Amino acid sequence: MELILKINGKKKTFKNKKISIGLFRRALEITEKINSKKIENDLSVLEEYHEISGLICEYFGVTKEEFEDGYFVEDGNEFYTFFFSVLGNIQSNNGKNSAEKK
């Protein structure tokens, strides 16, 4: 999966790398909150954004500043669509059928 940011006027592409179990756990926690509507009840919209964008930044290895200043969307729906794609990739090993072993 790729994230394309505009940094210093130039497009830069970031690709996801292997994820830590901690990142996987945080993705599961966010998914559980979304599925139980807990985010809507327990978090403000801004807190929800910080939690979601933090996960995206960690997934691609970018800073919050790089993400916020360099990621452009048409509307909020596009942001959430991208976020759900990231969640899907984290949980499904980028669509691979089996986990890589080393």
pLDDT band per the 50, 70, 90 thresholds, residue 95? low
On whether residue 51 sits in a domain, the answer given is yes
- Judge whether residue 72 has pLDDT over 50: yes
Residue 98, in any domain of the structure: no
Tell me the C-alpha distance between 47 and 34, whole Å. 13
pLDDT of amino acid 99: 46
Q: Is residue 99 part of a domain?
A: no
The pair phi, psi for residue 14, each rounded to 5°, is -115, 135
Q: Give the mean pLDDT of 73-81.
A: 90
| pLDDT higher than threshold 60 for residue 91 | yes
Q: Which domain holds residue 52?
A: 2-92
If one counts the domains in the chain, the total is 1
Whether the per-residue pLDDT at 60 is higher than 50: the answer is yes
Within-domain flag for 102: no
Q: Does residue 58 form part of some domain?
A: yes
- 7 falls within a domain: yes
Q: Is residue 26 part of a domain?
A: yes
pTM recorded for the entire structure: 0.78
Helix and strand numbers, DSSP H then E, in the chain: 5, 2
40 within a domain of the structure (yes/no): yes
